[in-house]
Amino acid sequence: MSGFAFNDLRASFGDKRVVGPLSLEVQQGQHVALVGKSGAGKSTLIKLLYERLTHQASLVPQGLGLVNALPVFHNVFMGQLDKHPLWYNTLTLIRPFRKDRDTVGALLNKLSISDKQWTPAASLSGGQRQRVAIARALYRNANILLADEPISALDEPMAHLVMKALTDQFSTSVIALHDVDMALAYCTRIVGIQDGRIALDQPASELQAADIMALY
């Protein structure tokens, strides 16, 4: 299954409702952009979806989730930790297998960060760290992508490269984006979040940037 449907999604912080109640159905083959101003509930909605799709999804969280003490290779390799036995993962920590080095290296090369493969994540710039988190999601190669602002620290050419890589590899995705033009260029459906609820839900082909900017 690479599509999904959930009803009555909701989240609160104390007495404050942050998301929902709302229902969201995403069909296989759809690339959905979540748009809306900061604090609208996009990140919380991504988290709610991931809680329900953990084993089917690759995740790019807004906080990136990197282990600063580990080099880039091992941070990317973590995308498949649950696919290997403990002995394999332990050995990889000490001396990675060639096939894994080659696979991770190819992804890093694709994202123009192959020269940082053995650099600790703590030494990377913001844009480099974001590309490592993207490489980890690509390496996991799950059926569904859930990504929270995956291009926020990237320049325009790299942002285009990343969005193309993500939408090419994953047949189904939900991506929170502030960049309206990127959302329209790479996603097939736009879902606007306002005050934790769905305020807009239309095919990207039927919208222009001005239609989306009304949410901000």
Please spell the DSSP secondary structure of 5-53, one letter per residue: EEEEEEEEETTEEEEEEEEEEE-TT-EEEEE--TTSSHHHHHHHHHHHH
**The domain 4-213: what is its CATH number?**
3.40.50.300
- Pairing of the two strands 4-13 and 16-26: antiparallel
pLDDT of residue 99: 97
Give pLDDT, residue 1.
56
- pTM for the model: 0.93
Domain positions in the chain are 4-213
Q: Is 125 exposed, middle or buried (0-12, 13-18, 19+ CB in 10 A)?
A: exposed
Predicted confidence at residue 61, as pLDDT, reads 94
Read off the tokens for 201. Answer: 């839900």
Q: What is the pLDDT of residue 59?
A: 96
User: 20, 197 in Cβ contact below 8 A?
Assistant: yes
Q: What is the pLDDT of residue 214?
A: 86
Listed as ranges, residues in the chain with pLDDT below 50 are none
Could you give the C-alpha distances from 25 to 36, 38, 76, 167, in angstroms and in order?
19, 23, 30, 18
